[in-house]
Amino acid sequence: MAFMHGIRGHGRSRHPKASRKPGHPPTQWYLNPNLHVAINCILMTVAEICLQLGAKDASQVDVPKWLAWTGLRDFVSGWTIAGVVVYICAFANWLYVLRWLPLSVAYPITSATQVLIAISAWIFLHEHLSFLRCIAILLICCGIVLSSKPAANAEEKL
C-alpha cells in the first residue's frame, strides 16, 4: 500500500527519494505510473480469463430468469469470484494510475489487455492464432505505442 501513502501524502513522504514537486509522480521506480498501467493490463487479463471460465461454469446452472438477466448467476462459480477479486485489485491500481496520468492517455494503453488475452490463449490454452488476428494484434500494438507517446510528458499539473 505504499502508493496509497503517495496519494495521501502529496509530496510529504519522509522517504528521501520521494521528495518531488506537488503534482508530479513519485520518483521511485515501483511507483512509476507507466509501470502501474502495465500491471493493470496484466491484472485485467487474469480477471478476464477467470470471468470467461466462470461464465462457462455458470451457464450450466438453472436459476430464475430475473437473476440470469442481471448476470449475477455467474457468481455460483469460484472462477467468477476469483475474477472479481483480481478486478478489485486492478481497480485500486487503476485509481493510482488516474491520479497521475490523463484519462485520454492511460485508457487507450489498457487496450494491451486484448493483445495479452490473445497471446495468453495461444500459449496456455493452445488456441489457434490466425493470420488476421496477428494483423489485428499488430495494429493494436501500433495504436498503443502511438497513444502512449504523449504519456512521456503526461505529468499533470494538478
Partner 1 sequence: MSLVPLLLVLVSQAAQVGGQVLLKKGMTPAQSKRRKRVVALQLGAGVGLLTVWFLLWMNLHEKMELSYLFPFQGISPVLLVIAAAFLLKERTHWRTWAGIALISLGTVLVALSEKQGV
Q: What is the C-alpha to C-alpha distance for residues 145 and 28, in angstroms, rounded to an integer? A: 24
Query: Which of these segments, 13-21, 25-33, 36-44, 101-109, binds partner 1 (CB under 8 A)?
Result: 101-109
Length of the chain: 158
Taking phi over 0 as left and psi of -120 to 50 as alpha, with beta for the rest, 20 belongs to: beta
147 makes contact with partner 1 (CB under 8 A): yes
Nearer to partner 1, 2 or 142 (CB): 142
**Helical packing angle, 78-100 and 33-58, nearest 10°:** 160
Told to check if 99 binds partner 1 by CB under 8 A, we report: yes
Binding window for partner 1 (CB under 8 A); candidates: 12-20, 30-38, 138-146: 138-146
Shortest distance in whole angstroms from residue 128 CB to partner 1: 8
**What dihedral do alpha carbons 55, 58, 62, 67 form, nearest 10°?**
-60
57 lines the binding site for partner 1 (CB under 8 A): no
Return the closest-CA partner of residue 127 out of 43, 49, 42. Answer: 49
- Can you say whether the dihedral through the CA atoms of 53, 59, 64, 68 is positive or negative? positive
| Contact with partner 1 (CB under 8 A) among 64, 103, 125, 157 | 103
Binding segment (CB under 8 A) for partner 1, from list 13-21, 24-32, 37-45, 91-99: 91-99
Using the rule CB under 8 A, is 119 a contact of partner 1? no
78 binds partner 1 (CB under 8 A): no
Q: Measure the CA–CA gap between 67 and 59, rounded to whole angstroms.
A: 12
Binding site for partner 1 (CB under 8 A): 10, 51, 55, 59, 68-72, 74, 87, 91, 94-95, 98-99, 102-105, 107-108, 111, 114, 118, 130-133, 135-140, 142-150, 158
